[in-house]
Amino acid sequence: MYLDQMLDKLEYTCLKGNVHTPVTELIYDSRKATKDCVFVCITGAISDGHIYIPDVIEKGASAIIVEKDVTVESDVIVIKVNNTRQALAYMSAAYFDYPAEKLKTIGITGTKGKTTATYMIKSILEQNGIKTGLIGTIETIVGEKSTPANNTTPESYTVQETFAEMVEAGCQCVVMEVSSQGLMLNRVDGFTFDYGIFTNLEPDHIGEHEHKDFDDYLSCKSKLFRQCKIGIINIDDSHANEILKGHTCEVETFGFSEQADLRAVDVRLEKKPGFLGIAYRLQGMLEFDIEIDIPGRFSVYNSLCAIALCRHFGVEEDAIKKSLSQVRVRGRVELVPISDKFTLMIDYAHNAMSLESLLTTLKEYQPKRLVCLFGCGGNRAKRRRYEMGEVASKLADLTVVTSDNPRFEEPQDIINDILIGVKRGPGKYVTIIDRKQAIKYCIENAEEGDVIVLAGKGHEDYQEIRGVKYHMDERELIQEIIEGR
């Protein structure tokens, strides 16, 4: 491929050399540089690709893409752009022959609900014979192949590479989670989404290495609606109008509001032995009854956005109803049916906001007792521990404080911090450091009508201790406890 073909849709200045030059590979990790490659210098939070220019030239790179002033003595081609992250996105799209143009692309952004909504959409579309790839927090799915995720939204090169794999595998559609970081770091630049979906917005991901404040967080989320053809918006969210500020897409809405194009009415909680769910009547652009085996009002929102999207693909009512009744999302209010006496579930809630939302939802089902097991990660802000402890003690009848990913801290020290928050609330509590023993305690001491939630690990299947990730899957631990192992 010629360098000028990769640069086709970019504004750039050629500082040295001839852009009509063949290049072998597109590289942004200096360790992977090869002869006649083009190297994109990415400025990151920890490392700056510009300092590795001598290394990649020594390895035979024929061109470099920069956003800073550099001095290069060799005869390598030097291209300057305003933003090398954006350049990488556009160049990756060209390098993989614009695969997004061969797929229907669906991007979902929001603080909560992205993961569940992607699985709902994939399930419904595939029930209707539309082969659909998925990119998200838990995994990337291409056909029968599943790869564990490192980031919610991967680097732009990986996004385009994955799109190309999906095209090769015969996928017609891709649904992906689009994080605020992904939007801020130009990971989904270089193409236009066919559909953009907004679930909700709450303060999150604000800090030194993420967003400087809430306005920045909101602004990054809103970028999706200047980069999609049709925007599907949760009209009930208080930030919906701000998210749409400056939008360039057609807009459709969903929610409980009478103004929503697709709305839920007559919502009712479904409670059976060992099972919690929710049902409602769909009105507006479509009208029929829905039942979902995932508890909580947030399940209504997730399903509404999935239905609103799948309407554009002509999916039949029966296919939608069947898919939503069967969808399961690993680690997201994941029911583990082991007894009719009590309800046991696994959830990824790992901060005070998500834990409060989860426990408030579960209290609506009026359990005999609400039991919450959780721990907190080591080498992270202590404030999170106090807040989660207080939330659990205020909302749960019994809090079981245990270990999560202690990393380089002592588990007992983390537990002691959590207890500072727990003691601010009225709930009873116990502490059991070993997570398996803590789960065993919850199961063996369960009472008729209890709802037990194992919070924090969700889809994770490991425990990180002193730099080593040890295999630990809560589903396996539960099975071992039941079998007496």
Predicted confidence (pLDDT) per residue in 348-360, tens digit: 999 998 999 999 9
pLDDT of the residue at 399: 98
Q: How sure is the predictor about 458, in pLDDT bands with cuts at 50, 70 and 90? A: very high
In angstroms, rounded to a whole number, what is the distance separating the alpha carbons of residues 115 and 218? Answer: 19
pLDDT, tens digit, 9 for 90 and up, residues 298-333? 999 999 999 999 999 999 999 999 999 888 899 999
Mean pLDDT of the chain: 94
Note the pLDDT of residue 370.
98
Q: How far apart are CA 318 and CA 308, in angstroms?
A: 15
211 pLDDT band, cuts 50/70/90, is low
Three-state SS at 269: strand
Q: Could you identify the residue written with the tokens 């999935």?
A: 306
Contact 284, 260 (CB under 8 A): yes
Residue 239's identity, in one-letter code, is H
Domains of the chain: 3-95 (3.40.1390.10), 99-326 (3.40.1190.10), 334-482 (3.90.190.20)
How does residue 44 score in pLDDT terms, banded at 50, 70 and 90? confident
Beta bridge partners of 173: 104, 132
Mode of pairing for the β-strands spanning 250-255 and 228-234: parallel
Residue-level length of the chain: 485
The arithmetic mean of pLDDT across residues 29-37, rounded, is 96
Distance of CA 395 to the CA centre of its chain: 26
What is the rounded distance in angstroms from the CA atom of residue 224 to the CA atom of residue 464? 34
Q: What angle do CA 164, 169, 174 make, to 5 degrees?
A: 65
Whole-angstrom distance, CA of residue 234 vs CA of residue 253: 6
Six-digit token string for 122: 């994939």
Query: What sign has the CA pseudo-torsion 465, 115, 346, 420?
Result: positive
pLDDT by residue (tens digit) across 77-135?
999 999 999 999 999 999 999 999 999 999 999 988 899 999 999 999 999 999 999 99
Question: For residue 371, is pLDDT > 60?
Answer: yes
pLDDT above 90: residue 212: no
- In the DSSP assignment, the letter for residue 401 is E
Is pLDDT of 296 > 60? yes
Residue 206 in this model has a pLDDT that exceeds 60: no
Query: Chain centroid to CA 139: how far?
Result: 9
What backbone phi and psi angles, to 5 degrees, belong to 468?
-115, 135
Buried b (16+ CB within 10 A) or exposed e, 3-40: bbebbeebeeeeeebeeeeebeebbbebeebeeebbbb
* Across 49-53, 72-76, 156-160, least confident range: 72-76
- The predicted structure's pLDDT at residue 208: 52
User: How far is residue 426's CA from residue 392's CA, in Å, rounded to a whole number?
Assistant: 10
Q: Binning pLDDT at 50, 70 and 90, where does residue 36 land?
A: very high
Mean pLDDT for 67-79 is: 93
Strand 104-109 with 173-177, pairing: parallel
With a CB cutoff of 8 Å and minimum separation 6, the contacts of 456 are 348, 349, 350, 374, 375, 376, 404
Report CA-CA distances (Å) from 377 to 168, 357, 412, 431, 456: 40, 20, 12, 16, 9
Cα–Cα separations (whole angstroms), residue 275 to 46, 392, 417: 46, 22, 34
pLDDT band at 217 (very low <50, low <70, confident <90, very high): confident
Confidence of residue 366 (pLDDT cuts 50, 70, 90): very high
For the chain, the C-alpha Rg in angstroms (whole number) is 24
Q: For 389, phi and psi rounded to 5 degrees?
A: -60, -45
Burial pattern 268-280, b for ≥16 Cβ within 10 A else e, equals eeebeeeebbbeb
What is the torsion angle, in degrees rounded to the nearest 10, for the CA atoms of residue 115, residue 117, residue 122 and residue 123? 110
Q: What is the pLDDT of residues 390-434, one digit of tens each?
A: 999 999 999 999 999 999 999 999 999 999 999 999 999 999 999
- Whole-number Å distance between alpha carbons of 369 and 429: 13
